Amino acid sequence: MAIIFLDSVTSTNTYCRQNIDNLNHADIVRARRQSEGRGRKQREWSSEEGGLYFSLVLKDGLSGIKTLGLLTQLMALAVCKTARDSGVEAYIKWPNDVLAQGGKFCGILSEAIFDGDRLKAVIIGTGVNISQEKIKSEKPFITLKSLGVEKSAEELLGEIIANFTADFALLRASGFEPLRTRYKKNFLYLGKPVTMRVFDEELHGVAEDIDESGRLVLNEGGKRRLIEIGDMDF
């Protein structure tokens, strides 16, 4: 495992994509700032100095993993645990945003790289708001510093990666089930009415469960729908 630290880059995910053949399993690319930080759904991810921006490359142990979403959810769990260990009442908004006091402080963008039909690598890009002065975002956001966390980006990265590594080993050994229980404990919206955006559709229902593949079970007035890709409004 190596950590490549860049002062500035377009996007750590793009860097990994472009250099994937020279990167090994568990390598991390981290940048002080990104000029073209990317979020889900082609959104921009504001990446001024003061945040943590990194991409983790996974190449081994991917064959048994059912969906890319599970790995993303694992990273959300790792960040949530790290924040909780620092005294923050953090929680997850399905599938992979981490929030506290109604504001988002972490977003995750995972990308798969194929060689023909073979899954060659997964890049898990993670952005954590720590102490940036300026953040551009349409949605409510928050920084860890404003929540009383005094840890540096290096310290937080070390804890996040240690948590993720332990959970990745557990996922490979025992599947998602033990992690699902933990994920559900940190999923604040469980059992509550939610509004979902799934492609162009707006859905209303109760977030009833997270299934064994990490999908959201939405109960729309008695009709259950399994959602693999989508966004929860907040």
Instruction: Catalog residues that contact ligand BTN under the rule CB under 6 A.
Output: 11-13, 34, 37-40, 43, 45, 53-55, 97, 107-109, 125-127
CB of residue 175 to ligand BTN, shortest distance in Å: 26
Helices assigned H by DSSP within the chain: 12-18, 68-85, 153-174, 177-186
CB of residue 47 to ligand BTN, shortest distance in Å: 6
Which residues, in sequence order, are CB contacts of 150 under 8 Å at separation 6+? Answer: none
CB of residue 187 to ligand BTN, shortest distance in Å: 16
Token reading at 181: 């229980």
> Based on CB atoms, which residue is closest to ligand BTN, 32 or 43?
43
User: Please, what is the Cα angle at 121 between 154 and 216, to 5 degrees?
Assistant: 85
Q: Do residues 52 and 30 lie in contact, with contact meaning Cβ atoms separated by under 8 Å?
A: yes
> Based on CB atoms, which residue is closest to ligand BTN, 28 or 149?
28
Separation between Cα atoms, residue 171 and residue 158, nearest integer Å: 20
> Based on CB atoms, which residue is closest to ligand BTN, 43 or 182?
43
> Based on CB atoms, which residue is closest to ligand BTN, 19 or 174?
19
CB of residue 224 to ligand BTN, shortest distance in Å: 27
